[in-house]
């Protein structure tokens, strides 16, 4: 998958992103819509609009429950992945922190997807494939082995 070009928008409006985030929360989002862009869009929406949630603690359960609701499994080889989730959450927080509070979230998501984070393999700049896809990294946070995560976790 190639990243979006600058100006491309994966979501036309903030309402579309809110629908996606609510679909994650209530487990009504169709599985086909749970894309790389959707992961970041929902996370950005949760950061901005659900400050009541302790996302590092809450997101794992939300994702696991969603995966199961669409017929997925959370095992040592598929489904929820702790290290990827926490690294992506840190990346999303850092990206959003540099943006104006009133900026439309659809613009933020489009810009994020046009950045290196828009590539599904962005995380492999920090972890080797072997370490990242280990059972240990799927179950719990594992520090990067290539270079420090610039966002902090």
CA gap 34, 22 in Å, rounded: 12
Under the banding of pLDDT at 50, 70 and 90, the label for residue 9 is low
- What's the pLDDT at 4? 41
Percent with pLDDT over 90 in the chain: 90
Per the CB < 8 A criterion, the answer to whether 76 and 106 are in contact is no
Q: What is the pTM of this model?
A: 0.91
Q: Which long-range contacts (CB under 8 A, 24 or more apart) does 66-69 make?
A: 66/24, 66/27, 66/29, 66/34, 69/27
- What's the pLDDT at 2? 41
Reported as a single tens digit per residue, the pLDDT across 25-45 is 999 999 999 999 999 999 999
Per the CB < 8 A criterion, the answer to whether 76 and 135 are in contact is yes
- What's the pLDDT at 6? 40
Reported as a single tens digit per residue, the pLDDT across 97-119 is 989 999 999 999 999 999 999 99
Q: Region 79-92: what's the mean pLDDT?
A: 97
């Amino acid at each position: 998958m190639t990243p979006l070009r600058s100006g491309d928008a994966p979501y036309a409006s903030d309402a579309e992103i809110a629908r996606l985030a609510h679909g994650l929360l209530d487990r009504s989002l169709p599985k086909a819509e749970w894309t790389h862009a959707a992961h970041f869009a929902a996370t950005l929406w949760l950061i901005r609009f659900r400050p009541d949630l302790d996302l590092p603690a809450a997101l794992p359960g939300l994702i696991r429950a969603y995966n199961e609701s669409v017929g997925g499994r959370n095992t040592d080889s598929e489904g929820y992945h702790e290290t990827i989730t926490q690294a992506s959450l840190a990346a999303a927080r850092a990206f959003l922190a540099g943006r104006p509070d009133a900026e439309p979230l659809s613009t933020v998501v489009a810009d994020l997807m046009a950045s290196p984070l828009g590539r599904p393999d962005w995380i492999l700049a920090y972890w080797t494939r072997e370490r990242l896809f280990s059972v240990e990294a799927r179950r719990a946070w594992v520090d990067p082995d290539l270079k420090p995560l610039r966002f902090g976790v």
